[in-house]
Amino acid sequence: MKVVEKDKIVSGMLRDELSRSEEMLVGLRKSLADLPRGALSERKKRYKEKAYSYFSLKYRDGEKVVNQHVSAEQVPALRKQLDQRKKIEKEMKSYQKRIAYLSKILKSGRG
Amino acid sequence: MWIPISNRGAFPPEVLELLQAFHRAGFFDEAMLVGSWVMPLYQQAFGIPYILRTLDIDFAVRFAARERGEAADLESVITGLGYLPVMMQSGIRKFTRENFSIEFIAHRKGGSDDGVVNVRKWNVTAVPLPFVDILLDFPFLADFGDFQVRAPVPEAYLVQKLLTARRRQVESKKDKDLDQCAVIAGRLDEDRLTQVFRSLKLSVKNSKALREACEAIGFPPQRLGLK
């Protein structure tokens, strides 16, 4: 007999955990919508003994790869947002794994 | 009530880290740990064994429409530990880190139907739920030496869970609540139970709900003072 069949409480907790994970994934996905995507790159140029930095945000828009100029003042805030996006994506992956794992356990318990 | 706890291994490191941070922020001066993560405390403090844990942790806060005094920015404390704030569809702001989530609840007064309350004092949002005041009004302090955690006494936890069992929309959550109640019911302090019950002003409907929940776990309703 499978564990989830054995105990009503345990199987209920697994189902609750699955639904909590799914809800959290929806919330995390929503958080991503407000954040920029892509990678920030810096190009350095020298002109008459002086060094200049040019920043751009490179991201994919369908088939196209877009290189969007970013002013130096925007860079700290943008870096923070891109970092936040990475953290959210990492957290989403861990929830996706958990959802797959829990779905498998609950499915096998029913089978 | 103050109870020294020597075994901090009752909590995994991530929970311990969170509780210590909340203690430093002064959160446990008035708010408390609730939900299934009180069970490790009950095991240490009252010898109530319960091994099942969830991956979310709940805290109860007092909410007043006009809050006075300043407190710590708890959101900064939590995000400082690496948690991400997540706005849920319900409008509540939860926090998550490596699949572990944090949520706040507050007392919901009868008739009120607020979906979420903004607890400005702590810069968090909370889900208003009925009978949370029972938990907040009967606390004990678990003392780990260098930090303390406030939680409801088991008798208040039991009565609150029994009262809310019938309102649970998800059957599995109701089963889990009653399962915890059945374990707690075996180790009750009669004086504390009487104190908790005497503080209640129950409607006929709630008395009936309490009686039904008592019967569901084989707990004599007379021990609560119900006829």
**Contact between B99 and A8 using a beta-carbon 8 Å cutoff:** no
When pLDDT is cut at 50, 70 and 90, the band that residue B202 belongs to is: confident
Q: Which residue positions in chain A have pLDDT lower than 50?
A: 1-5, 111
Q: Which residues of B touch A (CB under 8 A)?
A: 52, 54-56, 84, 86-89, 94, 96-99, 101, 170-173, 175-176, 179
Which residues between 70 and 89 in chain A have a beta carbon less than 8 angstroms from any beta carbon of chain B?
84, 87-88
Write the residue in A23, A87, A98 that is nearest to B99 by C-beta.
A98
Give the separation between CA A60 and CA A65, rounded to whole angstroms. Answer: 4
- For A47, the 3-state DSSP assignment is strand
When pLDDT is cut at 50, 70 and 90, the band that residue B67 belongs to is: low
Residue B141 has pLDDT above 80, yes or no: yes
Give the separation between CA A98 and CA B91, rounded to whole angstroms. Answer: 24
Cβ atoms < 10 Å from Cβ of B78? 23
Give the separation between CA B44 and CA B142, rounded to whole angstroms. Answer: 9
Q: What pLDDT does A65 receive? A: 92
pTM: 0.89
Q: What pLDDT does B70 receive? A: 65
Residue carrying the six token digits 């953290």: A87
Q: What pLDDT does B10 receive? A: 85
Which amino acid is present at B30?
A: E
Domain ranges across chain B: 1-152, 154-227
Q: How do residues B151-181 score in pLDDT, each as one tens digit?
A: 999 999 999 999 988 888 888 888 888 989 9
Q: What pLDDT does B98 receive? A: 95
As given in the structure block, the two tokens for residue B14 are 């991530």
Assembly ipTM? 0.87
Q: Is the dihedral of CA B135, B97, A106, A20 positive or negative?
A: positive
